[in-house]
Amino acid sequence: MEHGIGISLKQLRKHKKLTQKQLASIIGIGQTAIANYENGKRFPDERNLVKIADYFEISLDSLIGRKFIPPEADKLQSNGFSYTPTDLGRFTEDFMNRSQKSSRDAVKFILELLDDGFREEQILLDLLEASLIRAGELWAEGRYNEAMEHQLSMTVVQSMLTMNALSVPAVNVSGRFVSLTAAGELHNIGIRMLSRFLEIDGWDSFFLGSSVPASSLVNFIEVNSIDLVLVSATLNENTDSLCSMIKAVKSADKPPAVMAGGRASSLNRKIILDSGADFVFSSIPKTMEFVRKNSLKLNTMQMV
């Protein structure tokens, strides 16, 4: 596997701040052997494989990048949103590096993970979202510039669209929702991920982007019989426009439920709720749990 033991071993070694020579001494082999393992030129024999796994305190499956999905679990792929955490975060650095060199190569890597049995939800949350968070941390440290961040974001979106194109739509429709961001808000990957999870759960979706006039939005909601509106804002200065959008949605003849998210919504939760939002979301898994519990009463729910 291209992303198997070579990448795993290198990342584990760097995490421990070990040189190849130091790790080789611990395992009891030569430095050249470690270099060959990491470069994919050689595969450890059974004895050394166990030594490496024991030292880093991980399973052999995790070390070689294997993900076993029992036949019963595979049948769940089309049964709606399902998420269990994985160790895909160990590929964050590799995916980020691939995205800077070639979006095509990064997307190919994502497709390989799908082939290995990882669910779309796991790839989105444990790898793609983790990569964006890491990029934000590096940017704050001055180690990641705007061009690099934009390239990574576009690669993430491309990966999302590719996985979406390969998926089979759910048979049963849970409802209809529209998602968009506040006027002037350019950060939309988070709400697009949440939208994708609702799609996996059987919802019909409409993504409208940013800066949609209030009158057009209300008309769209009424014409398309929308049950739920997802709105978000990351930048604090976009809070007012987010509130105005929520108030406009609630002015519709049959107002749908409104869920607001993004950093600005979390920081101004009371203001957002006072403007008419029914729920302010943060964690995607918790949000999906909430939507499922309230899916039958989304048009009438009143959140405290």
The answer to whether residues 290 and 194 belong to one domain is yes
Counted domains in the chain: 3
Task: Check residue 32 and give its pLDDT.
Answer: 92
The answer to the question of residue 304 being in a domain is no
**DSSP 8-state secondary structure symbol assigned to residue 68:** -
pTM of this prediction exceeds 0.75: no
The answer to whether residues 150 and 51 belong to one domain is no
Looking at 123, 148, 166, which one is the last position of a domain? 166
C-alpha separations of 98 from 45, 86, 119, 145, 208 in Å: 29, 21, 21, 16, 30
Three-state DSSP class for residue 259: strand
**Which residues in the chain land under pLDDT 70?**
1-4, 65-79, 170-171, 295-304
The answer to whether residues 130 and 194 belong to one domain is no
CATH assignment of the domain containing 92:
1.10.1240.10
Closest to 178 in 3D by CA, of 252, 236, 235, 234: 252
> Is the separation of the CB atoms in 268 and 236 below 8 Å?
yes
The answer to whether residues 192 and 269 belong to one domain is yes
Task: Check residue 297 and give its pLDDT.
Answer: 53
Task: Check residue 186 and give its pLDDT.
Answer: 86
**DSSP 8-state secondary structure symbol assigned to residue 108:** H
